[in-house]
Amino acid sequence: MKAAVIGLGYVGLPLAVEMALAGVEVIGIDIMKDKVKNVNAGKSYIDDVPQDILKRVVKEKKLWATTDFSALKKADAVSICVPTPLRKTKDPDISYILAAVEEIAKYLHKGQLIILESTTYPGTTDECVLPRLEQCGLEVGKDFFLAFSPERVDPGNKVFQTKNTPKVIGGITPACTKRAVELYGRVFEKIIQVSSTKCAEMVKLLENTFRSVNIGMVNEMALMCDKLRLDVWEVIDAAATKPFGFMPFYPGPGLGGHCIPIDPHYLSWKLKALNYYAKFIEIAGEINSKMPEFVVEKLVLAFNEKAMPVKNAKILILGVAYKRNVNDLRESPALDVMELLKKRGAVVSYHDPFIPEIHEGHLKLKSIELTKKAISGFDCVVIVTDHSSFDYKQICDSARMVMDTRNATKKVKTNTPILKL
């Protein structure tokens, strides 16, 4: 059995490694030469892929990488794990998927299985992928097989990783589903079959829309508690004691990562084409996108109360990754907070043990060393990402003022003023 994985990023590389561990010979394909070089050298650039495991499967010749799509000739199965970003207009950009499908079409052969994993809107597989592959003269479900299986990667999760996260699969035909299950059943501990590719596509969007809407609701609760002079964290903790009918979500400075801030817009866009306005999705997106502004406005008010201008104030952003304990900067709310502070004239620095440098837009910064002396030199420390490696007691005791957007200082006793979200 030989399988190809197109796209060796946060989704593709872990999948390729798990396939190799399951005894499948894997060809990794990526247009980025650096990724291909690192894979072939056994060097992991993804936190969730242990370097010793990658080295082992490469050494055993179970996995090798290339930029040459002609390697697809040798593949019995192909998994597409390419990015699906949003355009500035919030429209889905499936150009990476279409480019991958064009390459697959050049080398499509009888018996080949194609599985799309990239998150996209319902209907992409049968409306965009299938017609191009059928142009090759082969019949789906008979000559070749096509399915959708949504990625469910949660970077940094130590409990649920690629292998033990249940895998949803939906094929164009029952035969397509069967073939995809035969392959992925060797790799994943549990397979969930659904009736169609469109259903499988919708499953992924429901999962992340559920999180987006609930985070939007609790972020609005934080705004309301601020108006009412209530501690939103105390309210949530008390509500979470209810043993039924309540699931705690927590507010923050905004949404980050490649899934939750983006995926719901795929569903909203698709529904607009059907003359349906997805109100919950749009409202949640609006609230979540405004949280960085709320953080900065609250900080400005705190400075005003101290008769200090934000202009020229030295502010340290603590943590810039989009979530704790990962090196992923994609869509991080820290970037928006930093940009907004710089626009107000603040002198912004940051520290993040996972992100040594930032080169995003107008932000060209390096992570500073976090020492007591360095912390004491700032007018305020803003905790944006609550990495577990931070010594919050030491940080608070060394700082002049702290703004905590993650409730990371919940158990810290200090004389330093702490602002909560």
Task: List the catalytic residues.
Answer: 259
SS3 state of residue 383 = strand
Helix (H) or strand (E) holding 349: strand 347-351
Those residues with Cβ within 8 angstroms of residue 257's Cβ, 6 or more apart along the chain or in another chain: 155, 322, 323, 328, 330, 331
Q: Alpha carbon of 101 to those of 18, 132, 172, 381: distances in Å?
A: 23, 7, 16, 47
335: closest CA among 265, 382, 377?
A: 382
Torsion angle, alpha carbons of 30, 32, 34, 38, to 10:
-10
What is the DSSP-derived secondary structure letter of residue 228? Answer: T
SS3 state of residue 385 = coil
137 class by beta-carbon count within 10 Å (0-12 exposed, 13-18 middle, 19+ buried): exposed
Check: CB of residue 191 under 8 Å from CB of residue 259: no
Check: CB of residue 257 under 8 Å from CB of residue 85: no
- CA–CA separation, 266 vs 201, rounded Å? 10
